Amino acid sequence: MSETTTTLLPDHDSEGSPDKRPRVEWRDVGRKVTNSTTVTTILAIFLALFISALLIIAVDSEVQRTAHYLGARPWDFFHAVGASVGNAYSSLFTGAVVDFSATTTAGFFEPLTNTISFAVPLIFAGLALGMGFRAGLFNIGAQGQIILGAIFCGWIGFTFHLPPALHLLLCLIGAFLGGAIWGFIPGILKAKTGANEVIVTIMLNSIALLLLGWLLGNRDDLFHFRSPGSIYPVSPRVNSSAQFPQLFGSNIDLGFLLVLIAAVGVWWLMERSTLGFRIRAVGENPDAGRTAGMNVAASYVWVMVIGGGLAGLAATSQLLSLGSPTLNGDIAATLGFDAITVALLGRSRPLGTVLAGLLFGGLRAGSYVMRTATKTPVDIILILQSIIVLLIAAPPLVRAIFHLPDPERRRKRQIRKQQRDLKQEEQQLEATPLLTYDPENIQQEYPPLEYPPSEEPTTSADTKRHKKKPTKKVLKSPTFGEPKDSAPPTTSDKEVTS
């Protein structure tokens, strides 16, 4: 039996030409990748790690000792440099992600759970500030909003004795309500009076901190915030019925699920809802939004209220967890200001904020292990965070360091070309002489029209026959009102008249 071979012919369209499939332009793909904000953020983090490594090398005692005889034995110096940086970053990874030296599964993942615990309040506050940034408001009042949320949540937690689910729900509502009230104040002032939200929120941060200090320092206040019998300004412990349940038998509690739900809710609010569309439109151009019929003042108020509530929920991870269920003067720590870094690093987007919060939570969790293992100062982590923020805030600097193409290069080139063409047209117009009126030149350029003679010559008889006879003008007689011929009278008329 003979075998048949089939030859695959190229597809042809209706016109008979081969089917041309779209080609992948790798240059365009590479341009999109290098111009993306994700690549810029990753490069900024690596650059910050490199700069921090230089600082670790500079403060390491072994590196300083081997530097004295660098010329004689350079290998000792480079070995000390590698060991200092490697030990520091390996201990940072061990304290933030996983511990390979652990003998149990819980111990293996314990660093990751610590990272999540540190990240939850940062994500809550970062979502709050990110909403404000997208609305064109530089809200830096998360510190005060966290404190007010902690006041409301803590008072409900240690005052009432309720069933577990109901008690926890009331604490969450109280935290959101406290932060929302503290966010409503700068929002309404911005909407009604145009007050600068930066100044107002800074003042409210100080007021919230002083209010907390007064409540914890006063033993005879109405709400009994001060723990009885305590020499320190702390509140009573939050009842166990109001605390978060633990998940998977680890340090992760219900707060992590709540912050993920909050991130999804913020995404839906900003990207899928009408209110989110108005907020984004007002953030891009308030005048255009006002012209389109949007209530700019209401958008400002809603952003500050919702953002304040989210910042207030950040206090729940501090109060309702097993670690520190008491209200004290350091309840907010530096969460409100660290949240600014998280929101900027996450580009004010929910997903980016979650990832940025996990990164900074990992840096905070790993810094303690790094300090214990390598005696590296914790301030190195603060410097690392500051450098990351600096580089994220200046993307052109990162592109210049890594020689990345400018995403606006093509547009700038077109603008420069248009400017050059416009300048050349202006120079040509300036070089062209102005037109002046000269009768002689006009007669030379535009001579009078000469009609050609008729092809058939006309005779004198034809001329007389076709000559137009003059019309007689009839005048009205001034005496009798009869028409009078304007032609001169003939001789026969004179004789008849006589």
- DSSP states of 67-83: GGGTTT-HHHHHHHHHH
| Stronger pLDDT, 47 or 375, i.e. the higher one | 47
Q: What is the pLDDT of residue 406?
A: 74
Nearest Cα to Cα of residue 224 among 170, 159, 320, 315: 159
CA angle 251, 125, 315 (to 5 degrees): 55
Task: State the pTM of this model.
Answer: 0.76
241 in Cβ contact with 167 (< 8 Å): yes
Give the pLDDT mean for 439-462: 56
Instruction: Please tell me the distance from the alpha carbon of residue 438 to that of residue 457, in angstroms, as a whole number.
Output: 39
Are 365 and 95 contacting, i.e. CB atoms less than 8 angstroms apart? yes
The 10s digit of each residue's pLDDT in 207-230 is 999 999 998 887 666 667 888 877
Q: What confidence tier does 496 reach under pLDDT thresholds 50, 70, 90?
A: very low
Instruction: Give the mean model confidence (pLDDT) for residues 373-391.
Output: 86
Per residue in 60-95, pLDDT (tens digit) is 889 999 999 988 899 999 999 999 999 999 999 999
pLDDT score of 23: 59
- Helices 254-272 and 350-374: angle between axes, nearest 10 degrees: 150
End-to-end Cα distance, the chain: 143
Q: What are the tens digits of pLDDT across the range 274-333?
A: 999 999 999 999 999 999 999 999 999 999 999 999 999 999 998 998 777 889 888 998
User: Are the C-beta atoms of residues 336 and 202 closer than 8 Å to each other?
Assistant: no
Confidence of residue 380 (pLDDT cuts 50, 70, 90): confident
* Distance between CA atoms of residues 375 and 101, nearest Å: 20
Contacts (Cβ under 8 Å, ≥6 apart) of 25: none
Compute the distance between CA of residue 330 and CA of residue 209 in angstroms, rounded to an integer. 9
Question: pLDDT-based confidence at 6, cuts 50/70/90?
Answer: very low
Give the C-alpha separation, 244 to 325, whole Å: 10
- Report CA Rg, the chain: 44
Q: Are 175 and 150 in contact (CB under 8 A)?
A: yes
Other CB atoms closer than 10 Å to residue 67's CB: what's the count?
A: 15
The whole-number pLDDT of residue 197 equals 93
pLDDT band at 150 (very low <50, low <70, confident <90, very high): very high
Cβ contact 324:318 at 8 Å: yes
What was the pLDDT predicted at 497? 44
pLDDT bucket at 481, cuts 50 / 70 / 90 = very low
- Residue 130 has φ and ψ, to the nearest 5°, of -65, -35
Residue 498 above 50 pLDDT? no
- Please, where are the H alpha helices in 194-295? 197-217, 254-272, 274-284, 286-291
Q: Hey, how many other C-beta atoms are within 10 angstroms of the C-beta on 235?
A: 27
pLDDT of residue 228: 81
